[in-house]
Structure 1
Amino acid sequence: MLRLKKILLIATIIAFAPFKSWAADVLEINVQSRYSPLQFIDSAFGGAHPIGGPGHAFVLKANDTLSPLGINFVMHNSGKVNKYDEKNILPKLVDRKKHGNLYKAVALGDKQGGINAALSIPAESGLAFGEMLSGGVPFGMSTDEYAAYIYYGGGLDLQQKIYDDAFDSKLVTIPVALTSAQGSGFFPKQLPDPDNNPSLSNEDAMAEFCNMPLIVRWPDSAAQVIKEACSRVGVTTAYIGKETRCVDPKATCDPIKNPSNPVKNIPTVLTFGGFAPGVIPHQMFGSGNIDAFELNMPTEDIQFLKLASKQLDKKNADADLSSIVAPYKYAGSWHQPILLVELVFNRDFWDGFTKIQQDLIKTVAQASIVDTQARLLSMQGEAIEQLEAAGVVHLKWPQGILEKLRDAMPDGLNKVANKAVQKGDNSSRLWLDATWAFQKKNQKFFDYGDINQGQSNFQTSKK
């Protein structure tokens, strides 16, 4: 028995010897995030922000696993550190505006006045395909399908190639979070639905939707699909970019209550806008500056509704959201089926790591993708119940409108990609062609699970 114990002890020492040789010198990785985690009361692990939270969750999980092995991440915030994050987050390393974005800062590296690592989403890269990679494409792959494409369908290799071409091979990208389908929109009224109105054709329903005089906040890819579908039924939608109904998107938009904030945009059809910097859509809805919007998963909606109504000191269950929430929320994430968060390294900095260090970081990043998705999925049922208690009616998108949007999707996205090509950026074209090819190749199996889509308790209308 004594001899066996000695053998086991020697084997243990040998097994851990490779780590001892470099663990004595801690590898500290300073990483700057474009978004604050926002660790509000009852927020998801990492924080309430749909991008900053999962990014911070990766840092927490990575340090929990890798710190004993000599690797430690230190997270910095690009803007002012929120008071809820002060215990965990440090001030910025570089001014991202000085470089244009964090991706350009990382391509420079700290020896050239930039930084060595950043957490962000590809939409912040300045490349045309960024939004399509960050959130998927309308009617695109689900989270598990997207993970298959990223890791084993050539997606990560293509993304790296696009980054190599754009940033002179100075970036290394590693996915760290992949969250599931989001709610597809809060609305002040129900959308026209042929299933509940036999006299309404799909085309008429689409036209009625396009003619709704609403200012809506939607990602560009989805907005372009809606725009294309509307044009096919003879309706031209409007676009106001970052603007909202009134001049100041942060202030109450009501001529009587706040005459100092004049109305600037009066919608007559669907009008895309409301991407005002630094203002959350829930706040703009509450102030009357926009009429409809999407953001993320129900858990994040709860947190941002608390933020907009100044109830961050309350637990989710204790907050009264009834006065600020929109009455209808539509399910069916046709517009943004996933959200991907990534870690980007300066290549010279990354190449300075040992092979073991690189493999450990990649392994923890892949584990973080599974962990983040599972954690968030486990919380959504309770969040939906809290929204419904506040007066929200959850509905499915009308199938008649979805059919029109699906038909318009290829042309709408092709126009987006081809317009970027004309400006010298072929990344959207490459990404669309590759993702569609992978989806087509595997679609028969992807459809196996779709029968479960019909087994939902969501209402189709409010009686």
Structure 2
Amino acid sequence: MKYSKITAALIAGSMAFGMSAKADILDVHMNIPKDLTFLADSAKLMDETLRKMSGGASGFTLYGAGELVPAGEILENVSSGAIPAGWSFLGQWGGQVPVAQIGATPFGAGPEALAAWLHVGGGLEIVQRGFDPLNIKVMACHVTNPEPGGWFNKEINSIEDFNGLKMRMAGVGARVLNEFGASAQYLPASEIYLALERGRIDATEFSLPIIDKDLGFNQIAKYYYYPGWHQPGSADILMINMDVWNGMSEQEQAMYEAACQVSLQWTLAYAPAAQTPQIEEFEAGGTIVKTFPDEVLAELRTATERVLDAEAEKDPLYGEAYRSMKDFVASSGRWTSLQTLPAE
């Protein structure tokens, strides 16, 4: 892993208050392979930070998807205490915890705004209320930059081209595509390649180019579409059984909070510059990079507002989170506009 000098300084600066801690090494079960670029690296960085702050007394033992617990069963196992902790995409749990859908909002907050809303704008407190009945402590320690719109084996020239399309997509974006006749559904990372190769799905999205490369989508899909309207920013979370969390000392909990912030900062800093070289590598290998037509994006935006408004009416806590995030992003609107420099 390549960490920035800023991250190294944060780790060193945090060590002062953590040297005498006595925390156990926490078993953390991930919803992704533990060697997956970037997504797993942030969990590894948090582990490294905890160990440095605690003199080796605290940290993670990471288990990849399916090693001990299936990726789709992490939530219930953390809730029951069968496992102490899990690491996953927040939006994965939207079916069981509706407010978790805020983990990625189509046409919503970008990575910096999402991170700020979660940690400064009260967003994480709202999300936590959704997990309280499950006896789970939630920490937002990873925010992914905008994802591509997906890998396709046909061109998308109009909104009608989604009709009948079988696509892997996570979160609210799947329901938006289904408004146009698609069959979009979630699949864990380990199942996507085979499903696409064997024709069980026609298209997929997953994550950033540097991550998609590891999963080999460029080998079996021709077109790589942008922008990632469905996930302009997305949050991954550390879930800790609340009894385990409450069993930690205040010092131990403070170490976890600090290490989480180190990991979060690294995800925001590392991702942007790493993507362009990877996109160019895809193109050199024959991938055709395209952008969705403006008319398609306009139709998707209209459908997104309809779907999100319906979700907000259905679940009051999700509605509170959605309105809070929109208001938080809008609050910086004039500032952002005034500070925008003209293009060259």
TM-score range normalised by the length of the shorter chain: 0.7 to 0.9
Q: In 2, are the aligned partners of 1:37 and 1:56 still within 8 Å (CA)?
A: no
Shift of 1:416: 3.5
> Which one has a bigger Cα radius of gyration?
1
TM-score, L = length of structure 2 = 0.82
Match of 1:431 in 2: 321
Aligned alpha-carbon RMSD (Å)? 3.0
Task: Give me the identity figure in percent.
Answer: 23
Deviations 1:398-454 (CA, angstroms, capped at 9, x unpaired): 111112222222112222344xx3xxx5443232222222233333345567778x8
Within the alignment, does 1:388 sit opposite 2:340 as a pair? no
Q: Which amino acid aligns with 2:77?
A: A
Match of 2:333 in 1: 443
Whether 1:215 and 2:215 are equivalent positions in the alignment is: no
Find out whether 1:156 has 2:124 as its counterpart.
yes
The structural deviation recorded for 1:58 is 2.6
Counterpart residue type for residue 97 of structure 2: L
Indicate the residue corresponding to 2:138 in structure 1: 173
Q: Among residues 202, 213, 230, which one is paired with 1:302 in the alignment?
A: 213
Q: Deviations over 1:191-245 (max 9, x none)?
A: 22xxxxxxxxxxxx43x4344x5322223411332344x4xxxxxx1xxxxxxxx
Matched AA of 2:151: F
What letter matches 2:293 in structure 1?
P
| C-alpha separation in 1, matches of 2:56 and 2:166 | 52
Alignment of 1:291-370 (within 5 A): 291-305=202-216, 324-370=219-265
**2: distance between equivalents of 1:296 and 1:54?**
14
Aligned mate of 1:411, from 306, 311, 333: 306
- Aligned partners of 1:401 and 1:189: how far apart in 2? 15
1:116 aligns with 2:79: no
Task: Establish whether residue 59 from structure 1 lines up as the match of residue 10 from structure 2.
Answer: no
Asked whether the equivalents of residues 35 and 51 of structure 1 are also in contact (C-alpha less than 8 Å), the reply is no
Higher relative contact order (Cα pairs below 8 Å, separated by 6+ residues): 2
Contact 1:142 1:338 (8 Å CA) reproduced: yes
Give the residue type in structure 2 aligned to 1:225: V
Alignment length, in residue pairs?
Answer: 328
Q: Is the 8 A contact 1:180 1:337 kept in 2?
A: yes
Q: Deviations over 1:127-185 (max 9, x none)?
A: 1232x233x21100100011110111110111122222x32xx3222111111111111
Corresponding residue for 2:77?
105
SS of 1:129 mapped into structure 2: helix
1:348–1:223 Cα change, 3 Å:
closer
Provide structure 1 residue ranges, at least 5 long, that are not aligned to the other structure.
1-15, 40-46, 81-91, 193-204, 231-236, 238-270, 309-320, 456-463
Cα displacement string for residues 268-317 of structure 1 (whole angstroms, at most 9, x for unaligned residues): xxx31464567543333333332222111111111111xx7xxxxxxxxx
Aligned: 1:76 with 2:63: yes
Aligned AA for 1:299? I
2: CA distance between counterparts of 1:344 and 1:38?
A: 16
Report the TM-score when normalising by structure 1.
Answer: 0.63
**In the aligned structure 2, how far is the partner of 1:407 from the partner of 1:450?**
26
CA displacement 1:311-343 (0-9 Å, x = unmatched): xxxxxxxxxx6xx34221111121111221211
1:133 match: 102
Change (3 A) 1:127 1:451: farther
1:243-275 deviation per Cα after TM superposition (whole angstroms, max 9, x unaligned) = xxxxxxxxxxxxxxxxxxxxxxxxxxxx31464
More helix by share: 2
User: CA separation in 2, counterparts of 1:163 and 1:293?
Assistant: 29
